[in-house]
Amino acid sequence: METENKTTEYEPLNFIEQIIEEHNRTNRFNKKVHTRFPPEPNGYLHIGHAKSICLNFGLAEKYNGLTNLRFDDTNPETEDVEYVNAIEEDVKWLGFDWQDRKFFASDYFEQLYQYAVQLIRLGKAYVDDQTAEEISNTRGTPTIAGKESPYRNRSIEENLALFEAMKRGEVEEGAKVLRAKIDMASPNMHMRDPVIYRIKKTPHHRTGTKWCIYPMYDFAHCLSDAIEGITHSICTLEFEVHRPLYDWILDQLGTHHPQQIEFARLNLTYTVMSKRKLKILVEQGYVNGWDDPRMPTISGLRRRGYTPEAIRNFAQKIGVSRRDTIVDIALLEFSVREHLNKICPRVMAVLNPLKVIITNYPENQTENLITENNPEDETAGNRTIPFSREIWIERDDFMENPPKGYFRLTPKGMVRLKSAYIIQCEEVIKDREGNIIELHCRYFENSKSGNDTSGLKVKGTIHWVSVAHALPIEVRLYDRLFEVEEPEGHEGKEFTEFINPNSLQILPKCFAEPSLAKAKVGDKFQFQRLGYFCVDKDSTPEKLVFNRTITLKDTWAKEQKKNN
RNA sequence: UGAUCACUGGUGCAAUUGGCAGCACAACUGAUUUUGGUUCAGUAAGUUCCUGGUUCGAGUCCAGGGUGAUCAACCA
């Protein structure tokens, strides 16, 4: 019984929040927090971006600030509106709102140009006529200083005239660039007179052919942040070595000066995350598009049946730090299960059907049995399910020679049909090859769920679907896309060599209870005892297609695996 | 052989900033259960990378070492 004061509420802050609170203490940004999420519209967002989105919007929310959505569209060769739209949809779906603050770096091309002119006037930038190769060759290495360009000391007037000519399109692509004049001997390669403008005579998806010079990331990003009044410019660790340049440009130009803060990008076991590798998966046909449910893209996760809440909770749980780490995908899976368990109605569906004939049940009788929709949610209510003489059960739920501890159906064994009766297996019917094709069972009329006077005690309860009322459905089972925890970085081996050949299993002939007939694309259910499933967009009026989002935890399967 | 940044149970993050190393996931027991789910109770798991220093006291500060990551596109 020590001092109780230890338990006074103290919410630990992550390192970014600590920085923000320090800024607030010292009044660096007038106690304001204004972040931004700055994707380049050249690909689809993935779960790693989700971490960044949750961070940026979450921080602003916590400190009563704002977050801008800004497309970093300074390279017309790779960017497209298609991506702009997809990105907006994904951010919205995750539950974040940038209100009227959707911006584009291309909105600032004129201002950025003026800033570049100002830099030239300050004698801090020059036009270089060297080729890309020459620039590269004279940059030096981390241990050897670079060589100054022969064009480095042109007069301000000449630089101004040349840059103007570049802007007017009078210079060939690649013939000249604008470089910041910093220090060719800097131990930081990014400070060795970085290129800040290059000529590209490619139409831009928003500005068309108005511009033929485009700012480089380092020049455009810091100034876009400054223009928007960003306070905390949060980016990933690889930009850490860019920070001196970020600061240098803003210092020279004397603008508003946000604080760049770097954090470690998300890595997940059994997953690849780089845009380049995801692109390979799509383009080489390892998956069926960017929204394939096996992809770690936001659109893939959405189609797979993940919820925004699950992803946000996941982002919360993994935290944020500056260490290069790899998060166990089990944590993501835990997050979906946790949320889906709360919200999903329970239904019955049989994936690998085995027919059971209840020999002592009247031939043309149908009973409507009552069952609860969700034991986790009292308000979810009940529904009825039809029961009749012939039912489908899961093939796995019957074993002729069961291992110890198996408590489903066995020859002469008894089992409870969920929300229905206890049955006993009396006869196993096989075909000529010895495959089990049918089970003959009897049921105990007085064992009806909710009204059981049989006194029978059974260990197992299994799910079932009435044959006469069954709704045929297609089910797609997904497993991890890779067979190893870390598919990347194996010497002499491509990450594609680790692809799990069984990551997708299509079951075209499954049966669901009839209540599912009115399910719509995106609807989510727990198929009792099997997992969480959602209706895929490939569904047709004739046939619903379900994606398995994630299995239920299965301690029995785990035990069996161990015993193998 | 350069610069910068990181090292805390298997994994990811904490430790009220110098005061008894804790949470979650994963793992393992058991109870409950008409889902082998959920829930509940519990167990195990750490030389806080190493060595030294400062201090009454170091995961935290200092020095040296080790390991890892990042950086040499007219990509972002």
Domains of chain A, each with CATH number or no CATH = 15-263 (3.40.50.620), 268-345+474-563 (2.40.240.10), 349-463 (2.40.240.10)
Closest-lying nucleotide for A18 based on CA to C1':
B17
Contacts of A184 (CB under 8 A, 6+ apart): A138, A139, A140, A145, A146, A147, A148, A192, A193
For residue A4, what pLDDT is reported? Answer: 36
CA distance A15 to A261: 10
- Give, for all 564 residues of chain A, the pLDDT tens digit: 333 333 345 788 999 999 999 999 999 999 999 999 999 999 999 999 999 999 999 999 999 999 999 999 999 999 999 999 999 999 999 999 999 999 999 999 999 999 999 999 999 999 999 999 999 999 999 999 999 999 999 999 999 999 999 999 999 999 999 999 999 999 999 999 999 999 999 999 999 999 999 999 999 999 999 999 999 999 999 999 999 999 999 999 999 999 999 999 999 999 999 999 999 999 999 999 999 999 999 999 999 999 999 999 999 999 999 999 999 999 999 999 999 999 999 999 999 999 999 999 999 999 999 999 999 998 999 999 999 999 999 999 999 999 999 999 999 999 999 999 999 999 999 999 999 999 999 999 999 999 999 999 999 999 999 999 999 999 999 999 999 999 998 878 899 999 999 999 999 999 999 999 999 999 999 999 999 999 999 999 999 999 999 999 999 999 888 877
A52 and A37 Cβ atoms separated by less than 8 Å: yes
Q: DSSP letters along A425-446, please? A: EEEEEE-TT--EEEEEEEE-GG
For residue A9, what pLDDT is reported? Answer: 59
CB-side neighbour CA atoms (13 Å) of A558:
5
A40 and A71 Cβ atoms separated by less than 8 Å: yes
Contacts of A234 (CB under 8 A, 6+ apart): A16, A35, A52, A55, A56, A59, A260, A261, A262, A263
**Angle, nearest 10°, between helix axes A217-228 and A243-253?**
60
Bridge pairing between strands A461-462 and A414-417: parallel
CA distance A270 to A294: 11
A243 and A271 Cβ atoms separated by less than 8 Å: no
pTM, two decimal places = 0.96
For residue A297, list its beta bridge partners: A46
User: What Cα–Cα distance (Å) separates residue A539 from each residue in A89, A396, A511, A545, A547?
Assistant: 22, 27, 15, 5, 10
The separation, in Å, between residue A240 CA and nucleotide B74 C1' comes to 22
Q: What's the first-to-final CA gap in chain A, in angstroms? A: 49
Q: Catalytic residue numbers of A?
A: 40, 265, 275
Q: DSSP letters along A311-329, please? A: HHHHHHHH---SS---B-H
Closest-lying nucleotide for A142 based on CA to C1':
B2
A175 and A161 Cβ atoms separated by less than 8 Å: no
For residue A461, list its beta bridge partners: A416
Q: Tokens in use for A229?
A: 């009044």
Nearest protein residue, CA measured to C1' of B11: A328
* A223, amino acid identity: L
CA distance A295 to A47: 10
Nucleotides of B under 7 A from a protein CB: 1-8, 10-17, 20, 24-28, 34-39, 68-76
The separation, in Å, between residue A244 CA and nucleotide B6 C1' comes to 19
Cα–Cα nearest to A49, from A301, A221, A323: A301
Nearest protein residue, CA measured to C1' of B7: A323
Which position has the token pair 């690889």?
Answer: A238
Nearest protein residue, CA measured to C1' of B36: A556
User: What Cα–Cα distance (Å) separates residue A260 from each residue in A28, A44, A223?
Assistant: 14, 24, 12
Nearest protein residue, CA measured to C1' of B2: A143
CA distance A366 to A354: 20
The separation, in Å, between residue A271 CA and nucleotide B12 C1' comes to 16
A471 and A517 Cβ atoms separated by less than 8 Å: yes
For residue A484, what pLDDT is reported? Answer: 95
**Angle, nearest 10°, between helix axes A109-121 and A217-228?**
110
For residue A8, what pLDDT is reported? Answer: 46
Count of residues for chain A?
Answer: 564
CA distance A280 to A286: 8
For residue A563, what pLDDT is reported? Answer: 79
A53 and A85 Cβ atoms separated by less than 8 Å: no
CA dihedral A538, A541, A543, A546 (to 10 degrees): 50
Closest-lying nucleotide for A38 based on CA to C1':
B76
A392 and A353 Cβ atoms separated by less than 8 Å: yes
Contacts of A505 (CB under 8 A, 6+ apart): A476, A477, A478, A479
* A484, amino acid identity: V
Determine the Cα angle at A157 with ends A155 and A159, to 5°.
70
Closest-lying nucleotide for A3 based on CA to C1':
B20
